[in-house]
């Protein structure tokens, strides 16, 4: 009897185990896929700079005769900015011009086709005129070196010398800048990011002083690297699609260049 009860109890336990529902094994949740077509880009600090900047200097040394413009003054392309005191060169130019006028008058006397003039005299007048033209061109080129003119319409951003001071060749006399047209230049775009940047790429420019973002386009990439705080960086230039009002030279910005 005892063995019978044991057998019945074992059978009950076996049936209970078989009828209990199986616990499903946990399954891993796959990572969410990145949205297709999402734009990516590189970000860098930048600053607002004039589209054209030029440091103006003389090509020969000498004492400054006249400084004809002041800091903050607007100038136009070709306008005379300053001159050196070289009376000898001015005298040579005046003499060469007088000789040229005399040669032109003499040549005009000997060449009228309706008059019979000795051919050798005509040739002499022509030779004299040709030499006078060459002498005047040389004197004019030499005297031009004593003056400097504005290469484009601009504002005189800085003046380094005064009348009477002695200037060396290549020494900066003026800084000119076009303050009507600005571009953006990056200051810390890393060498790790520059391979992804191409001319023509779109960008967004956040200007802190205006607290606004503006669309722009990459227009130039410097082929030469610079070093900032031990990091190798490249200057990238961007142009506004529509230049905003209120820009000033040196304003800080942050640019994001769309690379995909």
The pLDDT tens digits of the residues spanning 130-185 come to 999 999 999 999 999 999 999 999 999 999 999 999 999 999 999 999 999 999 99
Report the top-level CATH class of 41-50+182-258. Answer: mainly beta
pLDDT at 34: 37
Q: Give the integer Cα–Cα distance in Å for 185 and 208.
A: 15
Q: Cα dist. 12→5, 7, 20, 21, 143 in Å?
A: 11, 9, 13, 16, 122
Share of the chain above pLDDT 90, in %: 72
Q: Which pLDDT band holds residue 28 (cuts at 50, 70, 90)?
A: very low
pLDDT at 30: 45
What pTM does this model have? 0.69
pLDDT at 39: 52
- Average pLDDT of the chain is 86
């Amino acid at each position: 009897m005892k063995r019978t009860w044991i057998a019945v109890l074992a059978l009950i336990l076996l049936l209970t185990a078989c009828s209990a529902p199986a616990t499903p094994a946990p399954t891993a949740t796959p990572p969410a896929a990145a949205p297709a077509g999402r734009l990516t880009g590189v970000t860098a600090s930048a600053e607002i700079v004039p589209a054209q900047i030029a440091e103006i200097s003389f090509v020969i040394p000498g004492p400054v005769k006249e400084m004809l413009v002041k800091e903050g003054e607007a100038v136009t392309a070709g306008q005379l900015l300053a001159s050196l005191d070289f009376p000898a060169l001015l005298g040579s130019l005046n003499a060469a011009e007088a000789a040229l006028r005399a040669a032109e008058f003499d040549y005009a006397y000997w060449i009228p086709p309706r008059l019979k003039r000795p051919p050798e005299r005509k040739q002499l007048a022509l030779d004299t005129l040709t030499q006078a033209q060459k002498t005047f061109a040389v004197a004019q080129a030499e005297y031009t070196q004593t003056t400097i003119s504005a290469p484009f319409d601009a504002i005189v951003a800085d003046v380094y010398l005064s009348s009477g001071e002695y200037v060396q060749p290549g020494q900066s006399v003026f800084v000119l800048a076009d303050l009507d047209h600005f571009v953006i230049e990056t200051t810390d775009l890393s060498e790790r990011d520059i391979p992804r940047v191409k001319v023509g790429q779109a960008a967004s420019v956040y200007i802190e002083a205006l607290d606004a973002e503006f669309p722009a386009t990459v227009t130039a990439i410097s082929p030469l690297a610079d070093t900032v705080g031990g990091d190798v960086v490249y200057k990238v230039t961007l142009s506004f699609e529509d230049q905003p009002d209120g820009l000033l030279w040196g304003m800080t910005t942050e640019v994001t260049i769309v690379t995909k």
